Chain A
Amino acid sequence: MSAVVTDHEHEHHDHKPSGIKRWLYTTNHKDIGTMYLVFALIMFFIGGAMAMVIRAELFQPGMQFVEPNFFNQMTTVHGLIMVFGAVMPAFTGLANWMIPMMIGAPDMALPRMNNWSFWILPFAFLILLMSLFMPGGGPNFGWTFYAPLSTTYSGDSTALFVFSVHIMGISSIMGAINVIVTIFNLRAPGMTWMKMPLFVWTWLITAFLLIMVMPVLAGVVTMVLTDKYFGTSFFDAAGGGDPVLFQHIFWFFGHPEVYIMILPAFGIVSSIVPTFARKPLFGYASMVYATSSIALLSFLVWAHHMFTTGMPVAGALFFMYCTMLIAVPTGVKVFNWVATMWRGAMTFEVPMMFALAFIVLFTIGGFSGLMLAITPADFQYHDTYFVVAHFHYVLVTGAVFSIIAAAYYWLPKWTGHMYDEKLGQWHFWCSLISVNMLFFPMHFVGLAGMPRRIPDYALQFADFNAFISIGGFLFGASQLIFVAVLVKCARGGEKATAQVWEGAEGLEWEVPSPAPYHTFETPPVIK
């Protein structure tokens, strides 16, 4: 008996099971991180394909390819997949891969739960995607699933939508608990709070946000479920409920959620910029405090999504001022990044290019957010393409660019090979140009009054929309270059050193490339 146990232990430490079993049973943070990242990439392309359907339909005015109901399903599922299937799992994947290595831990604190939180995710999205093939189609009420669109007027597949959101939520909460426990309990001796890399700090704060708001999302979808199928009236005025209540609960989740999707990006950019500027990060402590204050303020601004619901002036002013206040800590961050680069010995490898594009384009998205925060102006901008432009600048050129930057930055550490720099630069420039063709003109059609989520539009928007669609197709095609880079890098290439980048500092750069299956089994000592 003891022999069996020893054998098992032996296997656990030195080998990994081969084939599919390795991936199904793995509790290794690197394996799970890889699975999260690959899953996010697949979801990015599925969600992207839906965006292509949307842009194809909007290429010309009038109805071209799809029925309005299917168009609505595309906008809804595109949003859900990009938020919950692409951006969030990609960040969780990066957290799994990098946090234990950055703090000198052997693995995540709760490896078994880690396995679960990944493996329930594909099922959530399988359920969501299958609902598209049901009679009547999948969810078509927008990713924000406002009642009564999602209750009284929704199709039969709504229960599947609710169930899949439940599973995504459970997965995120388990992932967040794991991150917090890992950071609290497994830091190497000498790794004090204020020595942690900013990626670890921003993820810690993100994990707290996740634990606070994902359960509220689970609650609100449960209410939608019972309103639709079990005769409750949370959001039904006839039974004493209130549809506006839905928006309050949803955005109480929804606004912290948008910071969940950007705070880890701040951490990534704060890792990359010092490396390629060959200077330590300017204002480390202020970065930590700025991130925390953004997280706290995120709970006080939710109703800026609801200015047009007939809010009293006092409420509108409160939410307007709180929203504008967020610009202060965000400004601190942008200032610190710029100050880090000031008089640095900069080089412009692909991760740095994406990080620089992030800083400029995310700031543009931040500014359009400030415009939207102005209550009286929001009455004009609300539900137009201006809003679409705003949140795609912060989510695509913000969150997604940071994830791509992170992938290029740590890819040599993961695979042991340098990626193809030339191909990477092609990917960057094609993405940069096409993404601005895609989203920048949306500001103008939005200001001119083109409503979002409508499959047709007034004739005067035709030229702009054709241009936007071309940008969209080019941006979609550009991401195929990314896949080519990834595949090429995974297969081989120039051997990467342990430090990889000349200016890179941190524990993850002290282990060899590729990072061994088990790292820091004895904790490193931090000076």
Chain B
Amino acid sequence: MALKHKPLTFKLAVTALAMFGFGFALVPLYDVFCDLTGLNGKTAATAASADAALIDTSREVVIEFIARPNKQMPWVFKPEVRRMTVHPGEIHIMNYLAENPTGRMIVGQAVPSVSPGQAALYFHKIECFCFTQQQLAGGKNMLMPLQFYVDPALPSQFSTITLSYTLYDVTSAWTGDTAASSQLGE
């Protein structure tokens, strides 16, 4: 390569490599963007503090609950009630019923989504089964709790919030995890 081409070639190659990195940087950037704006209906993946703000008794918000096991997930998974009317600021507990009709232990991970997406920023979970993976032996059932409140700052155009959970079978990934941790333990 002629000497005079080296600097420019090098710069362009570095740009190409940087853009390869940028493609991957889009992954966390996308999450940050969704967290900040509440677009995409993503709720916080960690618990909100329980010291809720003032209860706004003058206002009612309808919360609708949708629960759906993924196609590959054999569990029965449903909320105790389909809908609930709450005042913003009130803390409520909602139980979800999970049943494993198979003969083997299965680990589930629930992934939440809030609709309308802009309301996701105002839906706070104090405790949720979706924060961790849930383990259920074959033939057993359990109640999985969700403790939440709606932020009184919820813009007035929202009168109904739909919370949807999709439950995934993550048994294969989970067994891998324990194998790794037990190795670490030894």
The residues of A with any CB-CB pair to B shorter than 8 Å are 109-110, 112, 173, 176-177, 180-181, 184-185, 211-220, 223, 231, 234, 237-240, 242, 244-245, 248-249, 252-253, 310-312, 315
Determine the distance from Cα of A237 to Cα of B17 in the docked complex, in whole angstroms.
28
* Residue B70 at the chain A interface, CB threshold 8 Å: yes
- Comparing B19-27, B55-63, B84-92, the segment that makes contact with chain A is B19-27
Determine the distance from Cα of A215 to Cα of B168 in the docked complex, in whole angstroms.
32
How far does the Cβ of B120 sit from chain A's closest Cβ, in whole Å?
A: 11
Determine the distance from Cα of A420 to Cα of B4 in the docked complex, in whole angstroms.
44
- Which residues of chain A are within 8 angstroms of B12 by Cβ–Cβ distance? 176-177, 180-181, 211
How far does the Cβ of B164 sit from chain A's closest Cβ, in whole Å?
A: 11
- Which residues of chain A are within 8 angstroms of B52 by Cβ–Cβ distance? none
**Quick one: given A211-B19, A252-B26, are A315 and B8 in contact (CB under 8 Å)?**
no
How far does the Cβ of A228 sit from chain B's closest Cβ, in whole Å?
A: 14
Determine the distance from Cα of A184 to Cα of B2 in the docked complex, in whole angstroms.
14
Please name the 7 residue pairs, one residue from A and one from B, whose CB atoms are nearest each other, closest first: A219-B23, A238-B168, A215-B20, A215-B19, A216-B23, A177-B12, A237-B111
- Which residues of chain B are within 8 angstroms of A180 by Cβ–Cβ distance? 8, 12
List 10 additional contacts besides A238-B111, A239-B173; criterion CB under 8 Å: A109-B2, A173-B16, A211-B19, A212-B19, A219-B20, A231-B176, A238-B109, A238-B169, A242-B30, A248-B26
Determine the distance from Cα of A415 to Cα of B30 in the docked complex, in whole angstroms.
52
On whether the beta carbons of B8 and A181 are closer than 8 Å, the reply is yes
On whether the beta carbons of A239 and B170 are closer than 8 Å, the reply is yes
How far does the Cβ of A218 sit from chain B's closest Cβ, in whole Å?
A: 6
* Residue B179 at the chain A interface, CB threshold 8 Å: no
Determine the distance from Cα of A95 to Cα of B26 in the docked complex, in whole angstroms.
32
How far does the Cβ of B1 sit from chain A's closest Cβ, in whole Å?
A: 6
Interface magnitude class on chain B? 35 or more
How far does the Cβ of A236 sit from chain B's closest Cβ, in whole Å?
A: 8
Determine the distance from Cα of A217 to Cα of B41 in the docked complex, in whole angstroms.
27
**Quick one: given A110-B9, A237-B111, A237-B168, are A312 and B23 in contact (CB under 8 Å)?**
no
**Quick one: given A173-B16, A211-B16, A237-B168, are A315 and B40 in contact (CB under 8 Å)?**
no
Determine the distance from Cα of A216 to Cα of B27 in the docked complex, in whole angstroms.
12
How far does the Cβ of B16 sit from chain A's closest Cβ, in whole Å?
A: 5
On whether the beta carbons of A112 and B23 are closer than 8 Å, the reply is no
- Which residues of chain A are within 8 angstroms of B97 by Cβ–Cβ distance? none
- Which residues of chain A are within 8 angstroms of B21 by Cβ–Cβ distance? 219
How far does the Cβ of A233 sit from chain B's closest Cβ, in whole Å?
A: 9
Closest A residue to B30 by CB, please name it: A245
On whether the beta carbons of A249 and B23 are closer than 8 Å, the reply is yes
* Residue B166 at the chain A interface, CB threshold 8 Å: yes
On whether the beta carbons of B20 and A218 are closer than 8 Å, the reply is yes
Chain B interface helix/strand/loop/mixed:
helix
- Which residues of chain A are within 8 angstroms of B4 by Cβ–Cβ distance? 185
> What 0/1 pattern do residues 109 to 141 of B give for CB contact below 8 A with A?
101000001100000000000000000000000
Closest A residue to B176 by CB, please name it: A231
* Residue B39 at the chain A interface, CB threshold 8 Å: yes
Among candidates B26, B166, B176, residue contacting A237 with C-beta atoms closer than 8 Å? B166
> What 0/1 pattern do residues 166 to 186 of B give for CB contact below 8 A with A?
101110010010000000000
Closest B residue to A170 by CB, please name it: B16
- Which residues of chain A are within 8 angstroms of B8 by Cβ–Cβ distance? 180-181, 184-185
**Quick one: given A177-B16, A234-B27, A238-B70, are A216 and B2 in contact (CB under 8 Å)?**
no
On whether the beta carbons of B1 and A215 are closer than 8 Å, the reply is no
- Which residues of chain A are within 8 angstroms of B9 by Cβ–Cβ distance? 109-110, 177, 181
Determine the distance from Cα of A73 to Cα of B100 in the docked complex, in whole angstroms.
38
Closest A residue to B110 by CB, please name it: A238
Determine the distance from Cα of A98 to Cα of B12 in the docked complex, in whole angstroms.
22
Closest A residue to B22 by CB, please name it: A216
26 A-B contact pairs sorted by A residue (CB < 8 Å): A109-B5, A177-B9, A177-B16, A180-B12, A181-B5, A181-B12, A184-B8, A211-B19, A212-B15, A215-B20, A216-B22, A219-B23, A223-B27, A239-B109, A239-B173, A240-B111, A242-B30, A244-B40, A245-B27, A245-B30, A252-B23, A252-B26, A253-B23, A311-B39, A312-B39, A312-B117
On whether the beta carbons of A185 and B26 are closer than 8 Å, the reply is no
Among candidates B16, B27, B166, B173, residue contacting A231 with C-beta atoms closer than 8 Å? B173
How far does the Cβ of A493 sit from chain B's closest Cβ, in whole Å?
A: 38
- Which residues of chain A are within 8 angstroms of B142 by Cβ–Cβ distance? none
